[in-house]
Structure 1
């Protein structure tokens, strides 16, 4: 994938969900929530989706600076998370979409080095707070320049599908939010968060 538009997002959802839902590839018209939060109201989803897609077209992932590329993807992913354009299948669709965005910019992504539950939780922290730094921090260990990582990382996406534990994601989300309140501006530290959440 080399184009990252509304149409390509809908195509990804349609492809991934076509055997599950008759409405695969269609923008939702109903209210949804996740992580105990209401997502974008249905009446605003179309406009918000267009807004996020315009930002994506104006702010592509860097092809030369890995940290910048990951921060950009984390920012876009956090915004798309709160828009939540589909009734279901948002996580699978967005993970593939942003995996492809990083790869199109020339980066290799090894999803086996990214904690799926933490990444899921961090997306919602970014959605709730407009702070994508937690997601960027969770993603960075799995992103490499092509010559940095031996072997084929393309299969790591499929190999890790379904590895996320939803209960663990929800617990981690609440720990991240508590950590952010207790240690404002500090990078996410799971070992400290374990203590601060008690």
Structure 2
């Protein structure tokens, strides 16, 4: 039998969850006035792609502080056109495929863990193997933290790319399939979160080995496409293949503290 205190806590939890929605079990509240949860992801992706392009072209300066403010600034820029709470940590607990992410009240503590894993390393002198293992460790903890109500995948990848800027390497997320990325992310999740809260970054080494590229090198898997891009670059000044976008978005959760699902474009798990 539940106590009055437990019932009150449950009511408050439901109120916090529903505050993100137009109506209980409905679509996430958004600046676009979209109330259909199946229409919102496409609109969010389109606007986020525009903001991502601004970051990729260096038109927006986000201070590389590699802390909570850094991550929030990325999220705020990417989703400023869609959500009033862009850049704010979530106030509700979320889970995916039965795996609970870090509780809302522990987000600051866990973000501190991520920050420490970035700052406690000398990225500039890393070998490729050291970089793969280190960036996988950062991502494993960042993914488990999942600090935002929506858009964790997109913000997280930009953050990782900023971390990689301190190293001799860059990240090309297009080099790994979505299904492989999701499987590795799920495998890295703690086997039993009641006994251990630490993820296993070793499960992510293979996918990060695939996406890690030496800075300045160019992947040309398709010779004909490479030739076409080269001709295009010679003909039209200012075209840069590095401006191609790799974006992801999460699909809005529909109810309660159920799963926070992803949009089709997302590699995040």
TM-score (norm 1): 0.72
Selected match of 1:149 from 212, 215, 218: 218
Change (3 A) 1:115 1:41: same
Q: Counterpart in 1 of 2:85?
A: 23
Give the CA RMSD over aligned residues.
Answer: 2.9
Q: Give the Cα separation in 2 of the matches to 1:150 and 1:89.
A: 28
Aligned residues: 168
Change (3 A) 1:137 1:42: same
Structure 1 segments of 4 or more deviating over 4 A?
150-153, 162-169
Deviation at 1:68, TM superposition (A): 0.9
Matches within 5 A, 1:33-182: 33-61=95-123, 63-129=125-191, 130-149=199-218, 154-156=242-244, 158=245, 160-162=246-248
* Structure number with larger C-alpha Rg: 2
Structure (1 or 2) with the greater helix fraction: 1
Q: Give the Cα separation in 2 of the matches to 1:119 and 1:62.
A: 26
Deviation at 1:138, TM superposition (A): 0.8
TM-score (norm 2): 0.54
Q: Any gaps of 5 or more consecutive residues in structure 1?
A: 174-198
Greater RCO (Cα-Cα under 8 Å, separation 6 or more): 2
> What is the CA deviation profile of residues 62-113 of structure 1, one whole-angstrom value per residue up to 9, with x for unaligned ones?
5441121111111111111111111111111101111221233131333321
Q: Any gaps of 5 or more consecutive residues in structure 2?
A: 1-62, 192-198, 221-239, 251-260
